[in-house]
Structure 1
Amino acid sequence: MTVLDQLLTGAMVKTALVGLVAGLAVYWLMHWRKTRKLPPGPLSLPFIGHLYLFKSTMIHEEIYKWTKKYGPVLSVAVGPFRFIMVNDIDTALEVLVKKSTDFVNRMSSYSVDIFTDGGKDIAFAQYGPTLRLHRKIASKALRQYMQGKDLENRVHIALQKGIDLLKTEKEPFDPALHVTSMVFSLLFALCFAESHDFQDPEFRRIIHIEDCLNEIFQSGLILEDYIPLLRYFPTKNFKQFNALVKEHKAFLKKKFDEHKDSFDEGNIGDLTDYLIQVRKEAEQEDKEDLLEQLTETHLIQMLSDIFLASFDTSRLTLRFALFHMAQYPDIQEKVYKEINEAVGTGRLPGMEDRENLGYTEAVLHESMRLATVLPTGFPHIATCATKIGDYEIPKGTMVIINHWALHHDPQKWDEVEKFKPERYLTEGNKLGPKPESWLPFSAGRRLCLGEMVAKPELHLFFAGLIQRFMVKFPDGVVPDLTPKGGMVVLYPPDYKLIFEDRLPKT
């Protein structure tokens, strides 16, 4: 190489380095201008954001630690994607209630659109007339079919099946499938007026589908969601997701078609019948605008939402509650004593007993606080340029409520890590007003529809199980009930339990 060639090569390298530095400077300037009025947070690195700071999948816990330095409202970047994380109840209520219309939309992604047929559901739909109509219909359906004696009778049927199965277990076992089967059996009854044996192949297959979909959503579909080119070369994970979604929709379509074929307007027996009736009434009144919002796809997506609205919350909370009772036998005995005094052993606890089972309900509330099974709920999207406190929030910004942080805020909860049911009770041992920072079902315009189902069904299932069984860990087990999972869902750890029948053998 000649001297001239060496000089030219050196000049090219220097030019490239200058170009790289200039490019990075422009990137940082644009990044600074875009984010300078957002809430604070740790140093965000190009391309990876704050990923270098996360030491576990419990990102909601990691972020909450940052609040000690940066305050309760944080700007967080995961890869190239930025969101705002709210970690205190006052700001959460500002977002969810006071400025609910500013943050009422949901995020959209490729995988969500596949699952929801382009946002025709309730949970992920964008806010507007169609969503308002669907929430109104779903709320009315839930009030009609998932409350009072109808709910009680259906819970008792599912609960008795669960009790009969639990009685056959002679060795320590993981109660996950038993609890899931009870909750799922109730949902089958409410949505389809069907009663299944827990070993029924279709019943078990649908449980498996929903479990697999949960695992996929938990792990994320980042590549296909955010790199469109890869949708033409999908990963094995995404292929499995597509297959499961098709099977999930095919199952619901089959049930919907069966109900259409046997529909009798004088005999509306379940939620599917009710949705079909709503559509037929719109047809009879020739309301074209309503019919466009009540297509068969819309109705099946509404059914999917209702079918799954309380599923994970109920089954995971119930599993955590059983583990907590095994961990705290003195608290379990107080629950049993209250149930025995209010109900006895001759019948299962009913809806009318709830007002006399305040301590039992308080135990459930405390279990839901310590083990927040949906730690960050569903993300909200800013519908306009707005503010959170003094921070400017651009239109389209994702805002996430850290419900786990609300439930572990030492400013709001004394002895925050201690299991204390008494914190929810009045002096008369009655359930008091809901604590301000207890928010497992969110609030405002996107309040979880499953709340009105989950709370009474959880109470009946839990009270019925503790009425009948003493729940224990095997001898020598020292449990660590730290949840596993991540930002989407928290699961109980893998432990086996003993269910000791309290009723004397006859």
Structure 2
Amino acid sequence: MLTEAVLGVVLLVLLLTLVNRRPKGLPPGEWGWPVLGALMPSGVTIEDHLKTLRRKYGDIFTWRMGSRTVVFLNNFQLIKTAFSNPDLQDRPDFYSLDVFTDKVKAGISNANGVHWHNSRRFALRQLKELGMGKSSLMDAIQYEVTCLVDDFMKHTGRPQPIPMSLNVAILNVIWKITADIRYDVDDRKVHEFNDLITELFENFQRGSVIFDMYPWLPSISPPFLTKYLGVDALLESVEKLRVYILQVMGEHEASLNPDKPRDYIDIYLIEMKAQQGNPESTMSKLDLCAQVADLFTAGSETTNQTMRWGLLFLAKYPDVQARVQQQIDDVVPRGTLPSLEDKPKLTQLEAVIHEISRLVSLVPLGLSHAAAADTQLAGFTIPKGTVIIPNQEMCHKEPTYWEKPEEFYPEHFLDSEGKLKPRKKNYLPFSIGRRVCPGEALSRMELYLFLSALLQNFTFSEPEGEPLDLKRNPNALFFNLPKPQNIVITKRA
């Protein structure tokens, strides 16, 4: 018995050693223990730990996180090179992402290979046709802008949170494109949908990340563990969103006129029917549901949070706000909303929008990629399946590139004459390469039209005795979100 026990222990050790063997050619870094990987020191934030690893190993390093081999890229050129490589374009099989599509790689954001190429091509073409970045969509956004200004008028003169109407206005833009739907600011349905999106983001950041790092864990986890880790709450939120979108899709199917498509869902349904029988088609109702979910989760909440950061920064820096307002007044007649035609002349506002995105780094570690095949990068071997993480925040705060990396300094994007500089390196809030955000033009359009109109009509300031705290909300693990706090809205004369 003793001999068998010892032999069993020896075999287990040998097995773990074999499984934990570090592949040859990997970038330097932390490998750690079998199964557990390299654990992060207690009491240290991931941001500080990554800085330590960069100082120790350089701009490209490996961190074995659980059972995953993860390579971090910490400068602009490395990220640009990697994300232009066809073999580094997959999304990893993360549990927290795959639950959106029943563990099938579908949609715009999470698909791979041919499916991703098809979905991205369709999305870019249709978003462009529906007006993304064009004046044809500007009228719809400016209607939301007008309603937003009218609602902000009801919230002037007292300290309070940024009004909920901002969320509604941004959601309405996405609803207009996807389903030709619009909600009034007091409509209960849009408030419920906003709560659902917020709940989904909150649950996404909880314990399911453990399942991402230990992909074998979901199959053996007892119910009490999935509940404790917050996985059950994530699954419930995902199902609520799926049911909501499927209901809208069903309504579209029932009223569909192939000769007069109204929106993104109509166009997809028509094209899906036309593609029936095509063996190369990847279109399905599951994929459409995933694409609509992508448009809302990536297209509404990111713009909403960037807007909120913007209003807080402008309230904290009244001199910057005054310069932006003065330029708006010089270019746009009062009583007329700023338009896309005015954009080239509103350089102060454009610089502010760029600087907010740089300093905040809303998604500090970007969206993860995965190696679809063994690949060479910067002289190292990246094995198939390796997770690639771009440290976008480190690029945005690189002291050798940015004059004042830790400060709010819109002059980073302006020349000595106050003109907007050409697009800068080390600036990638929408990622870069083959999987650059397909909604970038829409997001920039919304940020410009909403912020310009609000600053034309209002001044934002700190409440007396309540200084604004521009540090990120510590409860948001994977996103740099602002802390909930009050602001004062004052109508401009």
TM-score, shorter chain, exceeding 0.5: yes
Q: CA offset at residue 113 of structure 1? A: 2.6
Q: 233-242 or 86-95, which moves further after superposition? A: 233-242
Name the CA distance, whole Å, in 2 between partners of 1:148 and 1:26.
59
Q: Are the counterparts in 2 of residues 54 and 62 from structure 1 also a CA contact under 8 Å?
A: no
Q: Give 2:46's aligned residue.
A: 59
Distance 1:347-1:266 versus aligned 2 partners, 3 A rule: farther
Aligned pairs (5 A) from 1:247-286: 247-282=240-275
**Equivalent residues of 1:141, 1:271 under 8 A apart:** yes
After the TM superposition, which of the residue ranges 22-31 and 131-140 deviates more from structure 2?
22-31
- Per the TM alignment, residue 206 of structure 1 is displaced from its structure 2 partner at its CA by 1.0
Deviation at 1:154, TM superposition (A): 1.8
Q: Is the 8 A contact 1:84 1:397 kept in 2?
A: yes
Structure 1 vs Structure 2 CA RMSD:
2.6
Aligned position for 1:115: 100
Shift, 1:264, TM fit = 2.5
For these two proteins, the number of residue pairs brought into alignment is 482
2:429: which partner in 1?
Answer: 440
Letter of the 2:278 counterpart: E
Asked whether the 8 Å contact 1:376–1:403 carries over to 2, the reply is yes
The answer to whether the Cα contact below 8 Å between 1:382 and 1:394 also exists between their aligned partners in 2 is yes
Partner of 2:405: 416
Distance 1:27 1:193 in 2: 55
Which amino acid is 1:67 matched to?
Answer: R
1:214 correspondence with 2:201: yes
1:131 aligns with 2:124: no
Which letter maps to 2:261? Answer: I
**Counterparts in 2 of 1:26 and 1:189: CA distance versus 1, 3 Å:** closer
Cα distance change, pair 83–255 in 1 and its aligned pair in 2 (3 A) = same
The match for 2:227 among 228, 235, 241 is 235
**Partner of residue 339, structure 2:** 350
Instruction: Find the counterpart in structure 2 of residue 198 from structure 1.
Output: 185
C-alpha contact (below 8 Å) 2:160/2:487 kept by paired residues? yes
Given that 2:62 and 2:72 are in contact with CA atoms closer than 8 Å, whether structure 1 keeps it comes out as yes
**Shift of residue 427, structure 1, vs aligned partner:** 4.2
User: Which position in structure 2 is the counterpart of 1:164?
Assistant: 150
- Report how far residue 120 of structure 1 moved: 1.8
Pair 90,178 (structure 1): closer, same or farther in 2 beyond 3 Å: same
Partner of residue 152 from structure 1, selected from 106, 120, 138: 138
Asked if the contact 1:481/1:493 (under 8 Å) is kept, the reply is yes
Distance 2:260 2:240 in 1: 29
| Structure-2 residue corresponding to 1:5 | none
- Residue in 1 that maps onto 2:485: 495
**Whole-angstrom distance in 2 between the partners of 1:83 and 1:500:** 48
Whole-Å Cα distance in 2 between the matches of residues 72 and 246 of structure 1?
40
Tell me the secondary structure at the aligned position of residue 415 of structure 2. Answer: coil
Among 454, 462, 484, which residue is 2:451 paired with?
462
Q: What displacement does 1:245 show?
A: 1.6
Q: State the SS of the aligned residue for 1:375.
A: coil
Q: Secondary structure at the match of 2:257?
A: coil
**1:337 matched to which residue of 2?**
326
Question: Does residue 391 of structure 1 match 2:369?
Answer: no
1:490 is paired with a residue of what secondary structure?
Answer: coil
**1:29 Cα offset (Å):** 7.3
Which residue does the alignment assign to 2:358?
Answer: 369
- Cα distance between partner residues in 1 of 2:53 and 2:93: 28
Tell me, yes or no, if structure 1 residue 183 matches structure 2 residue 176: no
Hey, what's the Cα distance between the residues in 1 that align with 2:210 and 2:311? 38
Q: Secondary structure at the match of 2:164?
A: helix
Please tell me whether the aligned partners of residues 385 and 395 of structure 1 are also in contact (alpha carbons under 8 angstroms).
Answer: yes
Go from structure 1 to structure 2 and tell me whether the alpha carbon gap of 1:19 and 1:261 turns closer, same or farther (over 3 Å shift): closer
Deviation at 1:304, TM superposition (A): 2.2
The answer for the alignment partner of 1:321 in structure 2 is 310
Match of 1:288 in 2: 278
Query: Structure 1 residues 61, 340: CA separation in 2 closer, same or farther (over 3 Å shift)?
Result: farther
Greater Cα shift, 43-52 or 403-412: 43-52
Q: Which amino acid aligns with 1:373?
A: L
Q: Distance in 2 between matches of 1:437 and 1:358?
A: 20
d(CA) in 2 for partners of 1:492 and 1:19?
Answer: 53
Label 1:336 to 1:65 Cα distance change in 2 as closer, same or farther (>3 A). Answer: farther
Q: In the superposition, relative to structure 1, how do residues 22 and 230 fare at CA in structure 2: closer, same or farther (>3 Å)?
A: closer
Residue 270 of structure 1 deviates from its aligned partner by 2.0
Q: How far does residue 193 in structure 1 lie from its aligned partner after superposition? A: 1.6
**CA contact 1:60–1:404 (8 Å) conserved in 2:** no
Pair 1:107–1:43, CA change in 2 (3 A): closer
Higher-helix-fraction structure = 1
User: Is the contact made by 1:60 and 1:405 (CA closer than 8 Å) also made in structure 2?
Assistant: no
**How far apart, CA to CA, are the structure 2 residues paired with 1:231 and 1:109?**
19
Change (3 A) 1:147 1:362: same
C-alpha contact (below 8 Å) 1:376/1:487 kept by paired residues = no
Cα distance in 1, alignment partners of residues 338 and 322 from structure 2? 16
In structure 2, give the amino acid aligned to 1:272.
I
Q: Provide the residue aligned with 2:125 in structure 1.
A: 140
Residue 257 of structure 2 aligns with an amino acid whose one-letter code is D
Deviation at 1:280, TM superposition (A): 4.0
- Aligned pair in 2 of structure 1 residues 208, 45: CA closer, same or farther (>3 Å)? same
Tell me if structure 2 keeps the 8 A contact 1:64–1:87: no
Identity level (%): 26
- Name the SS of the counterpart of 1:491 in structure 2: coil
SS in 1 for 2:72: strand
Post-superposition CA distance 1:112-168 (Å, at most 9, x none): 33312312212111122x221211110011112123223211211222222222221
Conserved in 2, the CA contact under 8 Å of 1:224 and 1:231? no
SS at match of 1:258: helix
Is the aligned partner of 1:38 residue 2:29? no
Secondary structure in 2 matching 1:399? strand
Instruction: Give the equivalent residue in structure 1 for 2:58.
Output: 71
Distance 1:159 1:65 in 2: 45
Letter in 2 for 1:205: E
1:4: which partner in 2?
none
5+ residue gaps, structure 2? none
Amino acid across the alignment from 1:500: T
Counterpart mapping for 1:14-25 below 5 A: none
8 Å Cα contact 2:170-2:304 kept in structure 1: yes
Q: TM-score normalised to the size of structure 2?
A: 0.90
Shift, 1:106, TM fit: 0.5
Given that 1:355 and 1:430 are in contact with CA atoms closer than 8 Å, whether structure 2 keeps it comes out as no
Q: Show structure 1 runs of 5+ residues with no match.
A: 1-7
SS in 1 for 2:22: helix
